[in-house]
Amino acid sequence: MCAALELADVLRRHGPTYWELHAHSVSHAQRRVMAAIEQCRTAAMGGHVEQCDACGHQRIAYNSCGNRHCPKCQSLVRAQWLDARQADLLPVPYFHVVFTVPEPVASIAFQNKRLVYDILFQATAETLQTIAADPRHLGATIGFIAILHTWGQNLVHHPHLHCVVPGGGLAPDCNRWVPCRPGFFLPVRVLSRLFRRLFLERLQHAFDAGELRFFSSLMHLSEPTEFSRYLRDLKHIEWVVYAKEPLGGPQQVLDYLGRYTHRVAISNNRLCSLTDGHVTFRWKDYRHPGRPRLLRLDAHEFIRRFLLHVLPRGLQRIRHYGLLSNRLRESRLSTCRQLLGVAPAEVTSCTPKPDYRDRYAQLTGRSLHECPACKHGHMLCIEVLLPGASPRAPPTSRV
């Protein structure tokens, strides 16, 4: 069993030294992420003191940093996002399709994150929509959600997209729902070949426009002949695209989405120990499924790998396409439901209530109002803490 260790503990203990040794290579965005995680739910963020109206138990509730890379700040955001997706689900099977770029492309992506990640989204979306619209395959307009992950289980840089797709789409005249074959969505080999071509075409166009930057071991790719040779080799290797088994009904789809959206490179529950300057964490080796593995890394190497996955500011890592795009969603999903013979979805309001704790309880089923000591009292705010301030009286617990 792993100990109660948090990513913030690693950054507080070894982050300052890492920053001093690698200041030249740590970006401003990475430094901001490190600082946010270190301060999350501490006195530096401010908060308030609560007291039970029955037994007098007190606790501090410090504010969260809200950073999307922080493993402690995603539960409520994820719950709100999934709640909003309830109205988008259709009573059809759903498929999970994954698009992965080979390691040579991942190297370029690491030095050109915003540009190449956008190309990954664009090539994936065009691939799925083109093959689905082909009458030889589905012959329909589809919709899907694409979610960017940039990590492997051992925290190496491994950019890929998880796409969750309804098993069917609208016919070209929008007068018929076209279902896919039972248990089969689209041929992955056909998807892979088109994905490879579209991605490399966009990458070449970005190079011709002078938008790509190369450093260190990739500096030689600045030369057009070298870049052309690099891309030529990529045209002759297989690009991994695979589709998983159908996900089941709407609730199973939501549960499944919850495991992929708003994830960070490593969650706190995977961390096991921080001893002798090394971090040990659990990981899955997909070459040997079912075998639990532990990986022990030098703390600085662990921090370096975590920082590989800090996204450029403003980059959207969850995007909607086709029938689920923001512009078409409401009207096209209404048409789909009519053709499928189902009642219109009940739209739940996502407007936060005045007290965030009410929203948290509604979405997660866990109450922040209930006293953790006596279980029947109500926790009331008795003192507001400004950032950096300490409570006048020491509380008995913290959250």
Tokens at 39, concatenated: 């301060």
Q: Which residues pair with 218 in a beta bridge?
A: none
What are residue 311's phi and psi, to 5 degrees?
Answer: -85, 150
Q: Compute the chain's Rg from CA coordinates.
A: 24
Distance (Å, rounded) from C-alpha 231 to C-alpha 200? Answer: 7
User: Residue 158 in 3-state DSSP?
Assistant: strand
Q: Going residue by residue through the chain, which has 399 residues, state the pLDDT in tens, using 9 for 90 and above.
A: 454 899 999 999 999 999 999 988 899 999 999 999 999 999 898 988 999 999 999 988 888 898 999 988 877 778 778 888 888 889 899 999 999 999 999 999 999 999 999 999 999 999 999 999 999 999 999 999 999 999 999 999 999 999 999 999 999 999 999 999 988 899 999 999 999 999 999 999 999 999 999 999 999 999 999 999 999 999 999 999 998 877 777 778 877 787 788 889 999 999 999 999 999 999 988 776 667 789 999 999 999 999 999 999 999 999 999 999 988 888 999 999 999 988 765 554 444 444 556 656 655 566 777 888 888 898 888 888 888 777 766 677 666
Distance (Å, rounded) from C-alpha 159 to C-alpha 110? Answer: 9
Pair 67, 37: CB distance under 8 Å: yes
Distance (Å, rounded) from C-alpha 1 to C-alpha 273? Answer: 10
Which DSSP helix (H) or strand (E) runs through 122? helix 113-133
Taking the alpha carbons at both ends of the chain, their separation in whole angstroms is: 23
Task: Return the residue matching tokens 């790719």.
Answer: 221
pLDDT in the model for residue 354: 47
Task: Return the residue matching tokens 């009207």.
Answer: 331
Tokens at 301, concatenated: 């190497």
Count Cβ atoms within 10 A of the Cβ of residue 336 and give its class: 0-12 exposed, 13-18 middle, 19 or more buried.
Answer: buried
pLDDT in the model for residue 362: 56
| Angle, CA 364 vertex, CA 89 and CA 151 arms, to 5° | 70
Look up residue 152 and give its amino acid.
G
Angle between helices 113-133 and 188-208 (to 10 degrees): 140
Distance (Å, rounded) from C-alpha 68 to C-alpha 373? Answer: 31
Tokens at 246, concatenated: 């159908």
| Angle, CA 10 vertex, CA 9 and CA 14 arms, to 5° | 120
Which residues make Cβ contacts (< 8 Å) with residue 136, sequence separation at least 6? none
**Cβ count within 10 A of residue 291:** 8
Distance (Å, rounded) from C-alpha 3 to C-alpha 274? Answer: 9
Distance (Å, rounded) from C-alpha 146 to C-alpha 321? Answer: 8
Alpha helices for 150-265 (secondary structure H): 188-208, 224-234, 250-258
Stated length of the chain: 399
Which strands form 271-275's sheet, in the order they lie side by side?
271-275, 278-284, 292-298
